[in-house]
Amino acid sequence: MENSVSNNLEKGIQLDFEKEMSYGDYLRLDQILTGQHRLSDHHDEMLFIIIHQTSELWMKLILHELHAAIDCIQKNELEPSFKMLSRVSRIQQQLIQSWSVLSTLTPAEYMEFRDKLGHSSGFQSFQNRLIEFALGNKNARTLAVYEHQPEVYPLLTKSLKEPSIYDAAISALSKHGLKVDEKALNRDWTQNYEPNESVEEAWLTVYRNTDQYWDLYELAEKLVDIGNQQQLWRFNHMTTVERIIGHKMGTGGSSGVNYLKKVLDHQFFPELLSLRTKL
């Protein structure tokens, strides 16, 4: 053809990358796209691998944003945290949607390669555990799963001992002159957060005086968004597992669907939900 593709390219487009960094170089696609190793010959194992790998990448970004938001809140710089937290909730939507893609895997198809997984399980995702810790759901017993990973175990131990984003938000209440019990401000960060009446009263003051405490009000609603999205992710996880394996035991040794249903009983940021009844 006289008008070849190369002839139609704009003159300024870079074509020679022998000594220049390309798109693939920058993103290290040679590493990312060669990291999918099926352990079976089944076609659908590729779907299973990629769904979980991309989920881990999204989780990495969630942690990047959450840690930055916590830092902002601890410095009493609330406004910069709002964009970060909005981004987290958008990423969570991506993760929630991924379950609908995985649900195209039928039970018969999954059984063709499930035995190849051994005892590996999503329960062992250290990044999901870090997210739960950052949101306030602490459980020291889960660290035993990661003792064989010297590069991961210290990260989880450190996160367990640090205040969550909700602890940072409660501290922000106090910094804005709202009365909060000392036991809520300086608690044992390794423990799962328990509701506190003074915290609920402080948030009620914020919601009843939004003009005066607009930044705190905005922060609260951002947290509610994230808490709701995390619960939706958990729920979709549970229903997808139920759709694919029914009530079989999980590959990691859990009770499977029954365990995932119990996880749903845990609530993030409890006073931000309970105050709604009292408003």
pLDDT in tens, 22-74: 999 999 999 999 999 999 999 999 999 999 999 999 999 999 999 999 999 99
According to the model, what pLDDT value does residue 160 have?
97
pLDDT at 256 over 70: yes
Q: For the domain made up of 41-277, give the CATH fold.
A: Methane Monooxygenase Hydroxylase; Chain G, domain 1 (1.20.58)
According to the model, what pLDDT value does residue 9 have?
81
Annotated binding-site residue? 17: no
Phi, psi of 214 (to 5 degrees): -60, -45
Annotated binding-site residue? 110: yes
161 band by pLDDT with thresholds 50, 70 and 90:
very high
Annotated binding-site residue? 176: no
Give the pLDDT mean for 200-205. Answer: 98
Q: Which position has the higher pLDDT, 175 or 243?
A: 175
- Tens of pLDDT, residue by residue over 215-238, are 999 999 999 999 999 999 999 999
Query: Do 88 and 233 meet the contact criterion of CB atoms below 8 Å apart?
Result: no
5 band by pLDDT with thresholds 50, 70 and 90:
low
Mean pLDDT over the full length of the chain: 93
Q: What percentage of the chain exceeds 90 in pLDDT? A: 80
Q: Is 30 helix (H, G, I), strand (E, B) or coil?
A: helix
CA dihedral (264, 269, 272, 277) positive or negative: positive
Annotated binding-site residue? 49: yes
According to the model, what pLDDT value does residue 182 have?
96
The neighbour count for residue 193, using CB atoms within 10 Å, is 23
Residue bearing tokens 């300024």:
12
Annotated binding-site residue? 251: yes
- Could you tell me the residue ranges of all domains in the chain? 41-277
Residues 53 and 138: their CA atoms lie apart, in Å, by 24
Which of 125-139, 242-256, 257-271 is the most confident on average? Answer: 125-139
Annotated binding-site residue? 119: no
Annotated binding-site residue? 187: no
pLDDT at 193 over 80: yes
Q: How would you label 101-110 residue by residue, b for 16+ Cβ within 10 Å and e otherwise? A: ebeebeeebb
Give the pLDDT mean for 171-181. Answer: 98
Residues 18 and 5: their CA atoms lie apart, in Å, by 21
- Tens of pLDDT, residue by residue over 77-104, are 999 999 999 999 999 999 999 999 999 9
According to the model, what pLDDT value does residue 247 have?
84
Residues 116 and 124: their CA atoms lie apart, in Å, by 16
DSSP state of 33: T
Q: Is 119 helix (H, G, I), strand (E, B) or coil?
A: coil
pLDDT at 197 over 80: yes
